[in-house]
Amino acid sequence: MDHMGDIEQLNIYVPNPDSSEFARAVAAVFAASGTQVDIRSDSKQAWKKSAREAAHCVFESRRANHPRAIQAIPLLGGHWAFEAAPDPSDWDIAQAVFNPHDIGESAAEQSFAVAQQAYIERFEFPYAFDDFVLILLDGDLGKALPHRPMSSFNLIKQVLKNEPERQVLIRMIGQAPNANQQARLDGFDLEDRISFTTAGLDRLLQACCYVVCQDTPLSLRAALHEKPVLHMGECGLHHIARNPEIDGRIQKSFNRMHRDRPDYARYIHWVLEHGLDINAPDFGATLQRRLGDLGW
């Protein structure tokens, strides 16, 4: 049964409203059911204001903060997860059990090869050196959030403490740091083992030893390169990543990460099976079923 027609107004909040294929795909599904749809620029102010408005909302990569809001999490390519729980550890995909033995080897390897070909950006030359630790930081530098209790600066300190020998490369993802944040980052640049880079993400992922991040989708990009991930914060895609929130201690996460042998191919296959492909012919039907499962 189509419940989308019962929703009078849907606001879709994305970083780039004029060029978001995701927003256009979702908007088309709702518009076909008679819903008025607005694609809007995302901001923290808009996110907070939405809780006081009557409209339903879809936020790209921002937590659902009221019963009429849903978070859309980019997975790989056109594949997205839709979740209503504000806490990533409560997402349906986080609660689902990943058992690699349930997935055939041939299907997983074929799916993995296709994903690598489709989603890894090509580059002409490998990075200048390898076997380094890659730290990926987003624009919320210095902030400890409910789902991410460690600030980015403390994250860097923990990596230096628990990884005493390897070189550490730091790359920003998303918006650039402000002047105060940059000044704090510059202090780390005095460390002999730390350097900052703007090199291509896939070029770095190919060359690094492992990844430390706080962003859920980046775990999948690392998995495409078969690189271990230490996720410093609550993570919806925790199944093959190490996480101090789950392990109990940061040192334990580092130790276990070095021992783990994740099945990357089967995991990528499993995640994409759980996601919705906005380019699939049946996206409208699968989106309707998924939102119905979430109470819409």
92: in domain: no
Evaluate whether 30 touches 39 at the Cβ level (below 8 Å).
no
Chain segment 113-129, per-residue pLDDT in tens: 999 999 999 998 999 89
138: in domain: yes
Domain count, the chain: 2
Q: What is the pLDDT of residue 148?
A: 61
Give me the domain span that covers residue 216. 100-271
pLDDT over 50 (residue 241): yes
What secondary structure does DSSP assign to 74-111, as a single string?
E-STTEEEEE--SSGGGSHHHHS---GGGS-HHHHHHH
- CATH assignment of the domain containing 61: 3.40.50
Residues of the chain with pLDDT > 90, as a percent, come to 65
Please, which pLDDT band fits residue 3 given cuts at 50, 70 and 90? low
Q: Check whether residue 187 and residue 121 sit in a common domain.
A: yes
Chain segment 64-81, per-residue pLDDT in tens: 999 999 999 999 999 999
Q: Check whether residue 141 and residue 42 sit in a common domain.
A: no
pLDDT over 70 (residue 189): no
**Mean per-residue pLDDT, 147-171:** 86
Q: What is the pLDDT of residue 1?
A: 43
Q: Check whether residue 8 and residue 128 sit in a common domain.
A: no
Q: What is the pLDDT of residue 159?
A: 93
Chain segment 242-256, per-residue pLDDT in tens: 988 777 788 898 988
Chain segment 94-109, per-residue pLDDT in tens: 999 999 999 999 999 9
Q: Check whether residue 151 and residue 243 sit in a common domain.
A: yes
93: in domain: no
Q: Check whether residue 227 and residue 113 sit in a common domain.
A: yes
**Mean per-residue pLDDT, 159-179:** 85
86: in domain: no
What secondary structure does DSSP assign to the chain, as a single string?
---GGG--EEEEEES-TTT-HHHHHHHHHHHTTT-EEEEEE--HHHHHHHTTSSSEEEEESS---STTEEEEEE-STTEEEEE--SSGGGSHHHHS---GGGS-HHHHHHHHHHHHHHHSPP-SS--S--S-EEEEE-S-TT--BTTB-S-HHHHHHHHHHH--SS-EEEEE-SSPP-HHHHHHHHHHTTSTTEEE----HHHHHHH-SEEEES-HHHHHHHHHTT--EEE-S--SS-TTSB-HHHHSSHHHHHHHHHH----HHHHHHHHHHHSEETTSTTHHHHHHHHHHHTT-
Q: Check whether residue 226 and residue 176 sit in a common domain.
A: yes
281: in domain: yes
Q: Check whether residue 266 and residue 283 sit in a common domain.
A: no
- For 252: left if phi > 0, alpha if psi spans -120 to 50, otherwise beta; the answer is alpha
Q: Check whether residue 241 and residue 285 sit in a common domain.
A: no
Q: Check whether residue 116 and residue 250 sit in a common domain.
A: yes
Q: What is the pLDDT of residue 140?
A: 60
- CATH assignment of the domain containing 115: 3.40.50.2000
Residues of the chain with pLDDT > 70, as a percent, come to 93
Q: Check whether residue 133 and residue 262 sit in a common domain.
A: yes
Q: Check whether residue 152 and residue 283 sit in a common domain.
A: no
